[in-house]
Structure 1
Amino acid sequence: MGKTKGDVIFDIINYVILSILLLVLVYPIYFIVIASLSDPHAIYRGEVIYKIAGFNIDGYTRILHTPQIWIGYRNSLLYMTVGTLVNLFITIPAAYSLSRKDLIGKNIIMGIFVFTMFFGGGLIPTFILIRDLNLYNTPWIMIIMGGLNVYNMIVSRTFFQVNIPNELLEAAKIDGSTNTYFFLRIVIPLSKAIIAVMALYYGVGHWNNFFTGLIYLKDKELYPLQVVLRDILTQNQVLADMMSGDESFIEQQKIADSIKYGVIIVACIPMLILYPFVQRYFVKGVMIGAIKG
């Protein structure tokens, strides 16, 4: 059956709206890329709009020779890797347990979890708690803080409810399987999609986390990359340390903008590398985990 005139008009309007939204979302990223590779003077003259003007990688050269960037990279990779493993170690078993119909008090436990999504102790009581636990200004605060995201646990629980039927557990028990053996040898291998999605969610969360480091870390040697990036974007002293003293103030300001664009790109590279490896699991895991609540 062919499309009616109304269908054609509807499709045209949809394509126009989606094209505008795509342009609005993609162009800022594209501009940052071409600006980071352009001559700072060309940026100031407004010549960098849709293509690189005066190819220049001086900003990247200064970034790569800045020890703070590498320290931040090292810390962020450590926090993201270990933190994500801790998140998965907590989230996946908790979600599976809450998906089981035979768990006593399941609704009460779930209610307690959901309660924490809407109510918290506040920043000051949390800070006092972290200090009293001797986690202040330690790497562990970046790893343990937010060890369980309730929303992610709910999505994972729904995945298990849909994909791991009780009949499978009953059949395994007939063969002499224990609950632990069933979870480790059967459930986990069948849950690669949701594990990959949760790893991506948690990994991106750890990589972009700057607030925890800003509040609970004071040693710059422990700063994650996002806090270093924030300092570069907001504090002129950090930028001054990345420049030579024989440059005029105006030149320094122009080069500073180039450095800022370059730092943003450098901070995004790990996530751009990671995403293609979990993309094939992403849509499947999210859709299955969102079908049934």
Structure 2
Amino acid sequence: MPTTTTSLSERIFDRFVYLILCALMVVTIYPLLYVTFASLSDAGQIVSHQGLLWKPLGFSLEAYKRVFSNSAILKGYGNTLFIVIVGVLVNLFLTALGAFVLSRRNVLWNKLFTFLILFTMFFNGGLIPLYLLVKGVGLMDSLWAVIIPFAINTFNLIIMRTSFMSIPEALEESAKIDGANHFVLLFRIILPLSLPVLAVISLYYAVDKWNGWFYASLFIKDRDLFPLQVILREILISNSTDSMSSGGGDQFQIGETIKYATIMVATVPILFVYPFLQRFFVKGAMVGAVKG
């Protein structure tokens, strides 16, 4: 059998690509490592340290103790978990219903509805009309204010619609012959065959809900309802670590490590989701690129 040989130029190019990828990996990972090491460091040493950080400076868990003893962060965690869990369930349910309707080939004015929905990706009413709408329906100072107005993302809807359209019509026709209605067709035929795209859409929605702070800070004024990211923003921008600091001479120093510990507490949970959904990610994310 003929064998393929790699030329010298191709080997050099491959080494160059590997070098670039390794550099990008270091640039991507190092900020997370820096925050991790800084959060585990002694407050006095990290404040006086300059330059790169490759290990904790005097191992200490004091910053994490202060973070988890703060009632605002614990409440923020609970509010964020409610927004993520309930919000993703609402997102998936409504997105699946919308995608199912748009994927039907015999629906009247299907193309018109699809165009009108796509139109909202590029043009919307703006922030002030959205605020007045949320206020008018009585959602202000409620966690539902960051769930219901954002129940469907148009981009995710189109991805799911494309996935549903790729399912063979023969399966649907046989289910209809056996007496399946639309709900049975969706929940017992189409959704079980669309697990990769459901996993990816769930990840998209969950990350968006977990990292969301802007609309929460706009619609929610009750501090007991603040999600975790709003509290993290206050700590990082407003330097509001007084409630977690001792109030003595080490207040500024421990406040610096508290910032890093809070970042880790707010970031690590969502990072653990990726390994479980990684095997679905490529197949689900690419479905819209190969079928129209």
Structure 1 residue runs of 5 or longer lacking an equivalent are none
- Which of 33, 42, 58 in structure 1 is aligned with 2:45? 42
Residues 1:66 and 2:70 are matched in the alignment = yes
**Given that residues 42 and 48 in structure 1 are in contact (C-alpha distance below 8 angstroms), is that contact kept between their aligned partners in structure 2?**
no
1:99 aligns with 2:98: no
What does the per-residue CA deviation read over 1:136-187, in whole Å, with 9 as the maximum and x for residues that have no partner?
A: 111210221311111111111111122x111211122222222222112111
Asked if residue 214 in structure 1 is aligned to residue 213 in structure 2, the reply is no
Task: Check if 1:169 corresponds to 2:172.
Answer: yes
Aligned counterparts of 2:254 and 2:52: Cα–Cα separation in 1: 15
Matched with 1:133 is 137
Query: Offset of 1:48 from its aligned partner?
Result: 6.0
Alignment check: 8 A CA contact 1:142 1:213 kept: yes
1:214-259 CA-partner distances (Å, limit 9, x unpaired): 10000001100000111111223x31111122x22xx322211100
Q: Deviations over 1:50-100 (max 9, x none)?
A: 111200111111001100000000000001000000000111121122122
Of residues 269-278 and 139-148 in structure 1, the stretch that sits farther from structure 2 once superposed is 269-278
Q: Distance in 1 between matches of 2:209 and 2:100?
A: 23
Matched letter for residue 159 of structure 1: S
Are the equivalent residues in 2 in contact too, given 1:34–1:48 (CA < 8 A)? Answer: no
**Taking every aligned residue pair, what percent have the same amino acid on both sides?**
42
Asked if the contact 1:155/1:290 (under 8 Å) is kept, the reply is: no
Structure 1 residue identity aligned to 2:23: I
The equivalent residue for 1:113 is 117
| Equivalent residue, structure 1, for 2:254 | 255
Q: How far apart in 1 are the matches of 2:283 and 2:77? A: 31
How far is the alpha carbon of 1:125 from its aligned partner? 1.5
The one of 40, 43, 61 equivalent to 1:57 is 61
**CA shift for structure 1 position 273:** 2.6
Asked whether the 8 Å contact 1:35–1:48 carries over to 2, the reply is: no
Unaligned runs of 5+ in 2: none
Give the SS at the match of 1:206.
Answer: helix
1:1-293 pair list within 5 angstroms: 1-43=4-46, 44-46=48-50, 49-162=53-166, 164-236=167-239, 238-245=240-247, 247-248=248-249, 251-293=250-292
TM-score, reference length from structure 1: 0.94
Moved more, 120-129 or 47-56: 47-56
After TM superposition, the runs of 4+ consecutive aligned structure 1 residues lying more than 3 A away are none
In the comparison of the two structures, how many residue pairs are matched? 288
SS at structure 2 position matched to 1:41:
helix
Q: Tell me which moved more, 42-51 or 153-162.
A: 42-51
What is the root-mean-square deviation of aligned Cα atoms in Å?
1.4
